[in-house]
Structure 1
Amino acid sequence: MDQIKNLKYDSHGLIPAVVQDAETNMVLMVAWMNQEACQLTVKTRQVHFWSRSRQEIWRKGATSGNTLELVSLWLDCDADTLLVKVKPAGPACHTGNTSCFYRELK
């Protein structure tokens, strides 16, 4: 857990987390984690995030059932972004889409 403490969090204590399906490599979503969310994710193997709007920790799928099971957690070369590889149970997006990235900007 020392690596989690040594991540480069922003001035709000947050780090971006890119969530990717471990089997398909599809990017499912991007969210924010703080140190506690990272620790809970590693401890429980269920992905937790920090809600900037509600100012609280949330476990993905707590209300919808569309959970994200942690497969592996990677950090980038600068230790300021996480790649969270998961096994999703249902769609990751609150719209019901598999991924939050379902619209192409043209």
Structure 2
Amino acid sequence: MNENYLDKIKWNEQGLVPAIAQDVNTGKVLMLAWMNREALQLTVQEKRAVYWSRSRAKLWFKGEESGNVQHVTDIRLDCDNDVILLMVEQIGGIACHTGRNNCFFQQLQVDEWIKVEPVLKDPSILYNK
């Protein structure tokens, strides 16, 4: 496969680019994560979201522990070539490690963050902790 597409991306100083995962069926933004070149290559090859975990400093195959895999249906690059948008089918309906559908579950109300999305599955069950 021609990998010139990787050279079009404006990678940051750490060799990463932010990647937004959006549900292909609902249009809801599920999460934001980071990708390096290898993560994007694997995502393209496997049609499954693979990210770079900054906290663990390793590749992160979304759903490898929880089973909540993201099947990728489309990949877009923004106008500045510095943000990836993944259109995904979220298996299991849970994208967030907190057991929620998405990572954006806190809403600013007046001057505090209120959790407005329910936990769908206890994280200790998802990650066998």
TMscore range, shorter length: over 0.9
Distance 2:103 2:54 in 1: 17
Aligned to 1:27: 29
Alignment identity in percent? 45
The one-letter amino acid of 2:87's match is: K
Q: TM-score, normalised on structure 2?
A: 0.80
The separation in 1 between residues aligned to 2:83 and 2:91, in whole angstroms, is 24
Question: For residues 91 and 36 of structure 2, what CA distance do their matches in structure 1 show?
Answer: 23
Q: Paired residue for 1:89, among 64, 75, 91?
A: 91
Q: 2:18 aligns with which of 1, 9, 16?
A: 16
Bigger-Rg structure (1/2)? 2
Structure 2 equivalent of residue 102 of structure 1: 105
Q: What is the aligned partner in structure 1 of residue 78 from structure 2?
A: 76
Structure with the larger RCO, 1 or 2 (CA within 8 Å, 6+ apart): 1
**Structure 1 segments unaligned to the other structure (5+ residues):** none
The unaligned stretches of length 5 or more in structure 2 are 110-129
Point out 4+ residue stretches in structure 1 off by more than 6 angstroms.
Answer: none
Q: Taking structure 1 as the reference length, what is the TM-score of the superposition?
A: 0.97
Moved more, 41-50 or 1-10: 1-10
Where 2:103 maps in the other structure, the secondary structure is coil
Q: Aligned to 1:39, what secondary structure does the other structure show?
A: helix
- Give the paired residue count: 106
Please state if 1:36 is matched with 2:56.
Answer: no
